[in-house]
Structure 1
């Protein structure tokens, strides 16, 4: 086929065949009847056929198409069915035995075929594709090419508009279809750059049969039971051709770019996966991104042309938005950057640079000692959020220079000052330069021969044969365009000096980049240490995966960690946690740090008390009395005794022992779906199968779980369900009465914390407490998670029920992370324990713990955190509730203040829990900079319990991202 024929064929509209005519073809030639559903195509006409026999795809293309090309497709399908595990359609023969019909319909010559329909869906409509899906596309492409390497057919030798070998000529021909001159220039420039990079590689690119359309349109997927996407098969072999092998991957990667949210690095998992199953040659790796750019240009030009000649083709019109997005993303970064990123993704690198012949940039300072300033995440220079101050890094450098004379930053050290709280995107924290403080007037010399250029902002650039060096803070002694020899003076320092190396004058490198792009940019902007004669490169940090391996090798694995591949978190500030690459994550699950992370008051109080004394509570010191008194002021009237312990588990365990001692019974009534701790006693009364899958079968005989009073999804629903749920309690109490067993007590969270902050039915605790006390038992309110002001509307959870318990247990936020718990009760209950000996908790009530406990109460009052929980928490709940009408997956919002639960369901009638969707949601939120985990027995509730310093800005960021992910489809 000549190029002229190619251009003509690229300009053809799809066949004009009506659905009625297509049905007639099915009846006459295939003996089938059924209903037709249009399927999109740019130049063909495709229908899904739902017949009584099966589902099929009816494909109708123009008679201009060569028969041998269509025969090649059928031969390719048969070959793959025999030589590959990839599922492809089977061609269905017509009644006359032919698998390809050439007909005339309505005066138009067409070719007709019928194929199997592969059940599933394409992913074109999804805005976001996860890493596993992206890798799946790459793996599929590699496996397909591996299988097709042995396939040949005369119909593969064809001239096709999508063949990358013709991209340059096709782009040049189609450019006039773009009316806007600016857009035309962008496409022409991108195509020219791609062609320039490709030309030296073309002769070395392997050629074979390829599918050339393994895209989000033509790969069929289905969700499995865990809601993960699973590959079902590949369709549409209309572009099957013999051409460069790497074209196949370039087409696949280009299609992925409209799911990339602007980030071209999204394709890298696909590249790695392809290379793992079908290794690519070095030249193919270098050609990949230029081919993607060329493909993007062809897509927009062909799309614009097709819409102009076939304006009624909705498929082409809708695809045009995707095609322009692909072009925008493909041209958003330098070609050289993606080349380096692709090489790095498969363990290859750009050629090394010989720096041995460099002359010193600052010859007058050779041998002088610089103060290398730590500006990293763990730097001791940073405290109490001071890294958020504008210009903090520059100030630290200047202060160090004032003391030491010379100071420098480290190349490649992730900067804490550049973290961005409440941001979905990675911050640009990786420095690709070194910043120095040296005396004014210090001579700067050319480290290599080159041509000097000066930008409008005063930045100097010396372009050498291998490298360019960019300098800020230098007054040039020569004019722009001057040719310098190595060692020639180019100017003097007149301010803060910034030095950056790069591989080429045309590379517009940033001073900072994101962690994801760091390895690629490092290859293009190597360290200037050799120019400076200064060991200024950052020390490599222990990466998160290696650290996790060390943890798993020594730390008992029953002590789980969040996420499969958690980031390494070593710093926190307020309601954010910060990883070692300087990314801030919004902490939506840390109800221990009520004051937030890194609070300066906590550091000061702990440090001061440690410098004085830390011992156990059997010694006489003021703090234990002062803290106990303050706790009693928060408790209801009549409660006058405090026990101080280390944790919530210990507090609940002690509460059970108090109930035993006071009642002289052993039997405890607890509530299903509840969690109370990990000690033997606390675990015994815990019934949450999310925490312990065997919880219901391993309860001791002294524990009597009653029906969970869940008003939303429980056995009884609604605000008037208390009496119904109390019947379960009465049933167990009656059995104990019959057996003449003494009831010890009843333990319950006054707000159902582990089930997502669900309020108990009004009046439930009043009725239960009355029945328990009537039998001599005590009522324990587990406030470990929901108490201490977190709920906003009330300080204690039991206030919501209008009751006063006999024993209150608490922990979590009491110490803002310091191991600290407490039990508050009445004197007669507390002293009943003396019949069993005295009680002692080694660290419970220590001077440090007591001082920290009092400081927490002080800060909560001074910073009005209880009010913040009420006001901002109220805004939070209202915003979450607004999602119910917008997203069918959102069933209900539970709780109040900063203890909220968002319950996800698949059906609003059956309330089927969306367990798998909830986990996918949490993983996706983590990608967007938010830590969140599920709770509840079905793990379908977001357990939202952030630090009480959480701001309205953070709340809005969280809900906006939640809205985004729910809209992406789970």
Structure 2
């Protein structure tokens, strides 16, 4: 009887009621007139009504459904009104909430609900962690609110009720023509039945919605572009069943947005559990029920498409449902069980040593050399971890010296990092590798059955545990029963030891995200080995961040709300403590890249000799100054060495004051020049200082930003218009009978994403400034030193020569180092105010590093790389403009680029919030990127100059992926 009822339910097509007939029903029974738009559904017919009285939903279902079931839905809606936003039931003119009528000879039930504005998220391929948690929290809230709701219409036979999943799947398998798919679903059904059956009597019952999915939860974006829940719709699957069924439905739907990773749903489980605590049996039943839901979804869809082949809603959802099934079956059930338990704080008992014999009895008490293969290992330098087989080679070398060597269980391996990859690398070892004398005997730590596997695997397993070994020669046959202490064989190669609680084939390595769950299934073999081989626990990242916040001034911000801990870098990548490599797309200080061996060698050598200040006499300061002057325009013959770009700009302003005899400075709006008093005074970027425009001293005169993209005047012929602002300010200074000191400007507009100044702008401005006795300062801190590719200095693009050049950033590849280059008469004007020196800027270490940077840039052809790869970079970014309306423009050249995001290409409304979300998502995909500009709507693309074409393509591909996700 039960199976017959289920078969009947799943065999019902949608009612056949046209839009005109639906409109007639509305006017006749509800007095409503309006525009009708069909809404998707599997077995019901739904229309949205836009009327003068508001927006409503007309729901029509077949008369086969008992009226009491629909009345139960209305009761639940009324019950939830004060706790969760749900639709209200609209009464007909007769006062009834539910009408049963005949249309074209078919009996149908008709009702009207109000409409909740917003949108479902079915179309989004990716959902962020906060949205996934939002689904779980909402599901928990609905579950809690319905926990005491009862109604006779809840006692119904429903195809989606997981209590009937095995019977329904068994019946519907025949509808699936694809044999491999059919076999896979049959296997899932058997797994589910075996796991859920022993738990069933312990699972709490209540009224459940059973369809809190991406289709039936309505969302809207807030002002920050974050998704916010608006309400829950569609109570058509309301039923009295296991409480955990509700969460299983929600989690299954979320697998469609998981990027293939079932662990993505864990925040939903945590959020549900925080609202409605789950029993351990429910947690253990959850993943099997998710699998059951996935199987029923695909089979019901196949069945329904046969009955209703023109149903576009079914066709659209079929692909999503198969994706859910494939993601759900991509990992062992045991792994997801462990992940679910661990994510809510449930523990699993450890393996103790009481019942085990030693695996290596001949080595008991012997000392092993435990080799550090982690991210901070001193064995790794200059990228040698990228060499194939490096870990085994290090273990071999240690064994040759110490006799016995071993790796550490659970130590994240640097050698397994993956550059330019959006996929989290599998860096966590679930095994220990031992290098022992060949011929060392192994004995069974416990009794069990012997099994041979691929790649030389030897496995001993009993009902609870399996011991997995590689590198062993044995005379025992597969299927042999061994007893504790029996000799298994001899070591003939490096010995790999892995323990597993389940009869599955675990990997030797897993990703950091999955490490907690895999550790439950594959705990450390330390107790079998009698060896303290576990990795030392890492510092808790949240506690470490709290320590930083408690001691480090809060105005010194860090990137991201939950930043990864970065302790290592190599070339244009940064590596966190779990061995994940992030593409560094914003670190314009490290022009040579991170971890360059020449920098380490030069710094170490000079530190071993001497480091002092520039008032002492040593060769390096003369040599470096000469190298810098050789790069400067003719006529510039004096160098100041300082610690930073801020200090360089501060000194340049002092030089302008001393040389001109005046104090008044012209600076450009939206610009940033540093944090010292003087450098900050001429900085007008409100992104860096929200009070910038209202707190300038009276000696600073900001001129209109010559922004050719979004400024007051646009295009390449706009220079004369922007020059008028300079003329106006110069006239004011002259009228006040004050002497102009100078004009400071980045030759390429840095904080606005590398926008080139309009042609001829600096030529005209420099002429006007010099005519009034001022000096012209080119702030090359970010744009200079070859980063632009086609030009070594940014001012070359404008065809001008400044009076003072300031630089820093890449000069020292991270060493505190900056410089001011000018003419002798300007430099010597400062002598009237006393002598000048900078402790670190001109030190022997800084000078040697500065020269090494120039050497490496030349030897490795980094200027050429900036030109060639940078040109490819810009071309690929420009291709995005035609594909994505959000991409407004690409600025800059070489490795000094900016991608400006706008909501409207005519108004140029900045897409500030979208840019923030995009940068957060890029980090999840393995890329560090940050916004810049006064509106924080420009991607600040200033990577190390060693950046490769492969890295560029990875960045643009991931950027396209995020834009496709419709952030």
TM-score by length of 2: 1.00
Name the residue aligned to 1:876: 873
Is the CA contact (8 Å cut-off) linking 2:446 and 2:484 kept in structure 1? yes
Name the residue aligned to 1:457: 455
Name the residue aligned to 1:180: 178
Name the residue aligned to 1:611: 608
Name the residue aligned to 1:401: 399
- 1:466-505 equivalent positions in 2, closer than 5 A: 466-504=464-502
Q: CA offsets, 1:157-204, max 9 Å, x none?
A: 000000010001000010001101111100000111111111111000
- 1:392-791 equivalent positions in 2, closer than 5 A: 392-504=390-502, 506-791=503-788
Name the residue aligned to 1:800: 797
Q: 1:844 aligns with which of 841, 856, 860?
A: 841
Name the residue aligned to 2:28: 28
Distance 2:455 2:342 in 1: 33
Distance 1:437 1:2 in 2: 61
Distance 1:817 1:457 in 2: 46
Q: CA offsets, 1:761-817, max 9 Å, x none?
A: 000000100000000000000000010000001000000000000000000000000
Distance 1:353 1:619 in 2: 65
User: Structure 1: any 5+ residue segments left out of the alignment?
Assistant: none
Q: Secondary structure of the residue that 1:572 maps to in structure 2?
A: strand
Q: Work out whether 1:234 is the aligned partner of 2:232.
A: yes
- Mean Cα deviation higher: 546-555 or 634-643: 546-555
Distance 1:271 1:611 in 2: 56
Name the residue aligned to 1:360: 358
Is the CA contact (8 Å cut-off) linking 1:211 and 1:239 kept in structure 2? yes
Q: Secondary structure of the residue that 1:32 maps to in structure 2?
A: coil
Name the residue aligned to 1:81: 81
- 1:903-918 equivalent positions in 2, closer than 5 A: 903-918=900-915
Q: Secondary structure of the residue that 2:898 maps to in structure 1?
A: strand
Name the residue aligned to 1:39: 39
Distance 2:441 2:585 in 1: 52
Is the CA contact (8 Å cut-off) linking 2:585 and 2:927 kept in structure 1? yes
Is the CA contact (8 Å cut-off) linking 2:789 and 2:863 kept in structure 1? yes
Is the CA contact (8 Å cut-off) linking 1:340 and 1:349 kept in structure 2? no
Q: CA offsets, 1:49-71, max 9 Å, x none?
A: 11111000111111111100000
Distance 1:935 1:730 in 2: 29
Q: 1:956 aligns with which of 945, 953, 957?
A: 953
Q: CA offsets, 1:553-585, max 9 Å, x none?
A: 100010000000000000000000000000000
User: How far off is 1:854 after superposition?
Assistant: 0.2
Name the residue aligned to 1:937: 934
Is the CA contact (8 Å cut-off) linking 2:47 and 2:58 kept in structure 1? yes
Q: Secondary structure of the residue that 2:882 maps to in structure 1?
A: coil
- Mean Cα deviation higher: 350-359 or 551-560: 350-359
Distance 1:602 1:195 in 2: 62
Is the CA contact (8 Å cut-off) linking 1:3 and 1:159 kept in structure 2? no
Q: Secondary structure of the residue that 1:232 maps to in structure 2?
A: strand
Q: Secondary structure of the residue that 1:567 maps to in structure 2?
A: coil
Name the residue aligned to 1:215: 213
Is the CA contact (8 Å cut-off) linking 2:352 and 2:527 kept in structure 1? no
Q: 1:893 aligns with which of 875, 887, 890?
A: 890
Distance 1:203 1:2 in 2: 19
User: Structure 2: any 5+ residue segments left out of the alignment?
Assistant: none
Q: Work out whether 1:156 is the aligned partner of 2:157.
A: no
Distance 2:739 2:195 in 1: 86
Name the residue aligned to 1:68: 68
Is the CA contact (8 Å cut-off) linking 1:373 and 1:407 kept in structure 2? yes
Is the CA contact (8 Å cut-off) linking 1:296 and 1:323 kept in structure 2? yes
Distance 2:18 2:871 in 1: 57
Name the residue aligned to 2:963: 966
Q: Secondary structure of the residue that 1:885 maps to in structure 2?
A: helix
Is the CA contact (8 Å cut-off) linking 1:478 and 1:490 kept in structure 2? yes
Q: Work out whether 1:201 is the aligned partner of 2:199.
A: yes
Distance 1:548 1:195 in 2: 45
Q: Secondary structure of the residue that 1:276 maps to in structure 2?
A: helix
Q: CA offsets, 1:371-422, max 9 Å, x none?
A: 1000000000000000000000000001111111100000000000000000
Name the residue aligned to 1:53: 53
User: How far off is 1:317 after superposition?
Assistant: 1.0
Q: Work out whether 1:311 is the aligned partner of 2:302.
A: no
User: How far off is 1:477 after superposition?
Assistant: 2.4
- 1:820-835 equivalent positions in 2, closer than 5 A: 820-835=817-832
Q: Secondary structure of the residue that 1:457 maps to in structure 2?
A: helix
Q: Work out whether 1:281 is the aligned partner of 2:273.
A: no
Distance 1:53 1:88 in 2: 19
User: How far off is 1:435 after superposition?
Assistant: 0.3
Is the CA contact (8 Å cut-off) linking 1:543 and 1:568 kept in structure 2? no
TM-score by length of 1: 0.99
Distance 1:564 1:866 in 2: 35
Q: Secondary structure of the residue that 1:627 maps to in structure 2?
A: helix
Distance 2:714 2:178 in 1: 62
Is the CA contact (8 Å cut-off) linking 1:477 and 1:489 kept in structure 2? no
- Mean Cα deviation higher: 539-548 or 768-777: 539-548
Q: CA offsets, 1:206-249, max 9 Å, x none?
A: 00011110000000000000000000000000011110000000
Is the CA contact (8 Å cut-off) linking 1:477 and 1:492 kept in structure 2? no
Distance 2:736 2:128 in 1: 58
User: How far off is 1:543 after superposition?
Assistant: 3.0
User: How far off is 1:351 after superposition?
Assistant: 3.4
Q: Secondary structure of the residue that 2:456 maps to in structure 1?
A: coil
Distance 1:109 1:583 in 2: 61
Distance 1:844 1:62 in 2: 82
Name the residue aligned to 1:6: 6
Distance 1:350 1:736 in 2: 76
User: How far off is 1:660 after superposition?
Assistant: 0.2
Is the CA contact (8 Å cut-off) linking 1:655 and 1:807 kept in structure 2? yes
Distance 1:748 1:930 in 2: 31
Is the CA contact (8 Å cut-off) linking 2:35 and 2:49 kept in structure 1? yes
User: How far off is 1:355 after superposition?
Assistant: 2.7
User: How far off is 1:28 after superposition?
Assistant: 1.0
Q: Secondary structure of the residue that 1:47 maps to in structure 2?
A: strand
- Mean Cα deviation higher: 647-656 or 73-82: 73-82
- 1:295-310 equivalent positions in 2, closer than 5 A: 295-310=293-308
Distance 2:317 2:231 in 1: 22
User: How far off is 1:98 after superposition?
Assistant: 1.1
User: How far off is 1:126 after superposition?
Assistant: 0.2
RMSD of equivalent CA atoms: 0.7
Q: Work out whether 1:250 is the aligned partner of 2:248.
A: yes
Q: Secondary structure of the residue that 1:884 maps to in structure 2?
A: helix
Distance 1:171 1:2 in 2: 13
Q: Secondary structure of the residue that 1:790 maps to in structure 2?
A: coil
Q: Secondary structure of the residue that 2:494 maps to in structure 1?
A: strand
Is the CA contact (8 Å cut-off) linking 1:460 and 1:472 kept in structure 2? yes
Distance 1:829 1:458 in 2: 76
Distance 2:526 2:86 in 1: 55
Aligned residues: 967
